[in-house]
Amino acid sequence: DDTQIIFTLEQGVGVITLNRPERLNSFTAVMHAELARALDTLEAHAGLRGVILTGAGRGFCAGQDLAERKPAEDGSRRDLSENLEKHYKPLILRLRALPAPVVCVMNGVAAGAGASLALACDVVFAVESARFIQAFSKIGLLPDAGGTWFLPRLVGSARAMGAALFGEALSARQAEAWGLIWRVVPDADLAATLAEVRATLAAGPTRAYAATKAALHASSGNTLAQQFDLECGLQRQLGYTDDYLEGMRAFAQKRAPAFKGR
């Protein structure tokens, strides 16, 4: 039985809750294996409409479980890239590649690779008391799990550099003001936010969401002309979807659209 994450998939929306609250949901090899299995299910689900990532307890994710990675007594060193290659790289790349939005509903602190996980999501809501901590420099490491890629793209190199080098806690409000995340919500609204996001994803124009995600993610590596070509190709496909027809009819009839995700 899965123990370190709780995974549900209803109405096409997967909800992954990191579930080691006593260790602020820090990553272990077991948790990575459970996440990989959840991703297998999500990738195989033809009717996938969205994914929500959140955490149990007062933390979202404190990054790598440091107790699991204690240095050997004899002082011998290890190759840290193995853990990154085996666990973090597939996790982050698979989440980014899912053909549906991945929304982080951050219930508390995100540190180290936990912050990278949040930033890998397509949209981040965070409760007011949440903090982002680039904890890596405190233990003599650089931001990993995609951190050095996400940070400068989201907030620019000056803020990325300061946050990464000094590792100070960044409040949810500051993160929102910097454009690191989409929106701060009151702590008391955590469950309501999750329910609202779930309902939005389950009723959304899934094909349009997938195209939007793909195009926005591709933009940083494209010229404007290449991006036009990408938009043309994707919009051509969306023009043939049931959801586009429904959206246009609903507009003409002055009613809310009832999207089916196809």
Q: How far apart are CA 137 and CA 167, in angstroms?
A: 6
Handedness of CA 222, 219, 14, 115 (dihedral sign): positive
Q: Does 19 bind ligand T3D (CB under 6 A)?
A: no
| Residues 27 and 65: beta-carbon distance below 8 Å | yes
Q: Does 146 bind ligand T3D (CB under 6 A)?
A: no
Q: How far apart are CA 228 and CA 109, in angstroms?
A: 38
Q: How far is the CB of 169 from ligand T3D (least distance, A)?
A: 7
- The counts of H helices and E strands in the chain are 11, 10
User: Which residue among 12, 14, 55, 112 contacts ligand T3D (CB under 6 A)?
Assistant: 112
User: Which residue among 97, 139, 191, 195 contacts ligand T3D (CB under 6 A)?
Assistant: 139
Q: How far is the CB of 228 from ligand T3D (least distance, A)?
A: 38
- 25 versus 193: smaller Cβ distance to ligand T3D: 25
For ligand T3D, which stretch binds (CB under 6 A), given 43-51, 99-107, 111-119, 229-237?
111-119
Q: Which amino acid is at 11?
A: Q
Cα separation values, 38 from 44, 65, 176, 239, 247, Å: 10, 20, 29, 32, 32
- Mapped onto helix, strand or coil, the DSSP state of residue 111 is strand
Residues 51-110 that bind ligand T3D (CB under 6 A): 62-67, 69, 80, 83, 109
Q: Does 165 bind ligand T3D (CB under 6 A)?
A: no
- What residues contact 93, with CB distance under 8 A and at least 6 apart? none
Q: How far is the CB of 70 from ligand T3D (least distance, A)?
A: 10
Q: What is the CA radius of gyration of the chain?
A: 19
- 43 versus 168: smaller Cβ distance to ligand T3D: 168
Q: How far is the CB of 77 from ligand T3D (least distance, A)?
A: 12
User: Which residues here bind ligand T3D, judged by CB under 6 A?
Assistant: 23-24, 26, 62-67, 69, 80, 83, 109, 111-113, 133, 135-136, 138-139, 141, 144
